Amino acid sequence: MVSNKVKTRDIINGIGAGLYLLDKNFRIIWINKYQADWFGTADDICGKDCYRVFQYRNHVCPGCPTARVFRSGTVQVAKSARGFNKDGQKRYYQLTVSPIKDNQNRVVFALELVQDITARLT
């Protein structure tokens, strides 16, 4: 059993990967520490469109796994998504996107797990 001293926040921030929550309009509504370290603070990016923040685009990315999650309601994986960190450096990420559903089984949010795989691809 996990000690009462371990908090959910500590687990989420200790996962070794970025996590962020998106609404159905692709707006970032929450990020963990890794995501903030890579892309900017919650104050900097929450409320903004993910495709603008992570890929400097003006529209949803082609083949977007998050769009597939909202359509299918199932977990989706993108093995090599290119993005830019807060310093403008091009990086490669593996994204695993999970649906967050309401009590009527409708997808209301998407949770993205982001792993930096740049070292494996370069």
pLDDT of residue 95: 93
pLDDT, average across residues 63-87 = 91
Answer yes or no: is 14 within a domain: yes
CATH of the domain at 99: 3.30.450.20
* pLDDT for 66 beyond 90: yes
Answer yes or no: is 2 within a domain: no
93 touches 85 (CB < 8 A): no
Answer yes or no: is 1 within a domain: no
pLDDT band at 4 (very low <50, low <70, confident <90, very high): low
Count of structural domains within the chain: 1
Closest to 20 in 3D by CA, of 92, 115, 91, 121: 115
Answer yes or no: is 3 within a domain: no
Boundaries of domain holding 68: 8-121
Model confidence pLDDT, tens digit, residues 17-56: 999 999 999 999 999 999 999 999 999 999 999 999 988 8
